[in-house]
Structure 1
Amino acid sequence: MTAEITAAEADLANRFPHEPFATRHNLAGHPLFSLPALARLAKTLPRDRVEYNAGDLEPGVKPEDVPTLDMSAEEVVRRIEQCNAWMVLKRVEVEPAYRALLEEVLTGVAQKLGHRSLEEAGFYDIQGFVFVASANATTPFHVDPEENFFVQIHGPKFFHIFDNRDRSFLTDEELEMSPSKHRNKRYDPSYEAKAQVFSLQPGDGLFVPHLWPHWVRTGDSYSVSMAITWKSPRAERLNTLLRANGLLRKYGFPQPAPGVNPVMDGVKIAAYRALRTAVEPLRRTEGMRRFLRGLVFGRQANYYYREKKA
């Protein structure tokens, strides 16, 4: 059976890729997302591609207040029904079976959009992020630098998403990117008056636009979900600018918002890409990735290596 995502034709025609909308999929029950398979995956991935912590959090929890867990990633998955945890397995496309699944799903979406290939549809840098969480766990308020079809595979989940065009949620400075900045963002409960809440069961999903803030909570059973992500040329250009601005701000040179000075935006994008191209060969091992993050961005860039708090 072909793995696929489906959506209303009107949503694909009128909302993609700028607004969220509900989708359906047929990945619930797929063997790649069984707990034994995910435990093996957690054991296989490099340590900086696995992040986990306690799950009973508030949407606006401060990064330094997120409790860690004193167990291995594999053990977290195997005990997810009892251990009150939240986990993300990052970049699962490095495993061929998951890569094939991601490409199969997005090829089907590209065809529904009228394109002949992933490249023609603008689906570049395809990545997969698998979320495994205990019942009543929370993913705090944050944004993602990718475009994303989010699929719910096991258990219920409630996805609260907010319009990124409304700067009352996050300022341009808060959207700047840097490994030294924790993923979690400032949150106020008053935001909920403007939230779109998608109630997801296995087989449900939604399209999450680039940089739209959201927070997520599980229901009364453990949850398995996946974000099927890519970076269109438009999204990657903005990401590069936000990374350049974040780096310059860290070293004492705050920058105007994207679009205020288009010529300077182009200069910063070109310079950052040249720097990244020079450094990329050094990032092939986990140890070098950890060293370079700490060297350039400070110790906080490796926050997910924290030991369990006393």
Structure 2
Amino acid sequence: MNASEPGSVITAANDALRRDFPLKPFAIRHGLAGHPLLTLPRIAQLAAELPRDLIEYNSGKVAISQDPDAIPTVDLDPVEVVKRIETAGAWMVLKRVENAPEYRRLIEDALLSVARARGFESLRDAGFEQIEGFLFVSSPNSTTPFHLDSEDNFFVQIHGEKFFTIYDNRDRRLVAEDEIERSMTKHRNLKFDESFAPRGTEFHMFGGDGCFVPYQWPHWVRTAGSHSISMAITWKTREVRRANDLHFFNSMLRGLGWPQKPPGAQPAFDAVKLAFYRTGTTAVRPLRASMTMRRILRRIALGKRANYYLKDA
């Protein structure tokens, strides 16, 4: 891979990349604000090109602790949402943008700058595997409800003002193991209580700012008085992929009435479950090339609400 482009470099103050990564959140700076791939016209073009099941959007007027079954919709097609984002009252995410080669190069260059700052010469040496990108476009005064993500994430703010609050859940006092399983397999939204506030760290961002979001740390986000463009640059290490597979399989077993201990509590049994689960998922992976089959597989594995974001398609 070529040296990372200056415009894609991610940096952090006070040596946080070496001191806190990947266990604690910290602020970052980046050179992606104003990049031609991250402007509204180019994002609208991308929205027209992506498979429909890789685009999710709804009203941005939602609660921090939003009921997934009561999320208000937006009566526009994806391209119009982007074009009218200043007035649409919407929140949108374009998923897996790394499938477009130019976006993959952008994401990999950004992560390579992090790898080199940490003393590695390649993405693989630094543990950056299964790299993915998620582009967010939000109207003014929009909220992203309380949720968690099952990957590590450099979140970069491209345009607009955003408040991003992350909560420490390492002891599972905020979000229990069964809720983590549910958020991964049903809907990501989690219940929020004001008593969580002392455990939160707020990052106030403008274009060029960002933060590191550790694996499965819950968070919620709000925009200010102008539209917002942001990107989540994510990856999954071998350890994260293993934990995720176990969470998914544990969720399936819990649904059958066999609740499981969290990953790591029973290493020998984890190995058996992991082998069984991965054998099954390997067999169906080729089917996921078809959007129709992806919808069917999600419904079989995750339930009838698994394709909730396609209800308008």
TM-score range, shorter chain: over 0.9
**How far apart, CA to CA, are the structure 1 residues paired with 2:303 and 2:293?**
14
Partner of 2:114: 109
TM-score by length of 1: 0.96
Supply the distance in 2 between the matched residues of 1:29 and 1:260 (Cα, whole angstroms): 46
Q: 2:292 aligns with which of 287, 290, 297?
A: 287
Describe the superposition over 1:211-240 as per-residue Cα deviations: whole angstroms up to 9, x where unpaired: 000000001110000000000111111111
1:249 aligns with 2:254: yes
Q: Is the 8 A contact 2:148 2:183 kept in 1?
A: no
CA deviation after TM superposition for structure 1 residue 259, in Å:
2.3
Report the Cα distance in structure 2 between the residues aligned to 1:9 and 1:119, rounded to whole angstroms. 25
Structure 1: state its 5+ residue gaps.
Answer: none
Q: Equivalent residues in 2 for 1:48-127 (5 A)?
A: 48-127=53-132
How far 1:180 sits from its partner (Å)? 4.7
Letter in 1 for 2:242: R
User: Which residue does 1:237 correspond to in 2?
Assistant: 242
Deviations 1:179-212 (A, max 9, x none): 6511101111221222100000110011110000
Normalising by structure 2, we get a TM-score of: 0.95
Residues in 2 aligned to 1:124 and 1:214: alpha-carbon distance in whole angstroms: 23
Percentage identity across aligned positions? Answer: 52
Aligned to 2:152: 147
Q: Distance in 2 between matches of 1:77 and 1:105?
A: 24
Q: Would you say the 8 A contact 1:180–1:300 is kept in 2? A: no
Q: CA contact under 8 A between 2:10 and 2:28: conserved in structure 1?
A: yes
Tell me, in whole angstroms, the C-alpha distance in 2 between the residues paired with 1:102 and 1:14.
Answer: 23
Matched residue type, 1:209: P
Give the 3-state SS of the residue equivalent to 1:124 in structure 2.
Answer: coil
For residue 7 of structure 1, what is the aligned residue in structure 2?
A: 12
**CA deviation profile, 1:124-170 (whole Å, cap 9, x unmatched):** 00000000000010000111011110000000000010012132210
| Residue 266 of structure 1: aligned partner | 271
Describe how 1:165-180 pairs up with structure 2 within 5 A. 165-176=170-181, 180=185
Is the aligned partner of 1:31 residue 2:32? no
Instruction: Find the counterpart in structure 2 of residue 195 from structure 1.
Output: 200
CA 180–302 in structure 1, closer or farther in 2 if over 3 Å, else same: farther
- What is the RMSD of the two structures over their aligned residues, measured on CA atoms? 1.4
Query: Structure 1 stretch 164-173 or stretch 29-38: which is displaced more?
Result: 164-173
Query: In 1, Cα distance between the equivalents of 2:172 and 2:185?
Result: 23
Measured after TM superposition, the shift of residue 276 of structure 1 is 1.0
CA contact (8 A) 1:178 1:297 kept: no
Q: Spell out structure 1 runs of 4+ moving beyond 3 A.
A: 177-180
Partners of 1:158 and 1:218 within 8 A in 2: yes
Cα distance in 1 between the residues matched to 2:146 and 2:183: 17
What is the distance in 2 between the residues matched to 1:178 and 1:5? Answer: 29
Which one-letter code corresponds to 2:214 in the other structure?
Answer: P
Q: Conserved in 2, the CA contact under 8 Å of 1:150 and 1:225?
A: yes
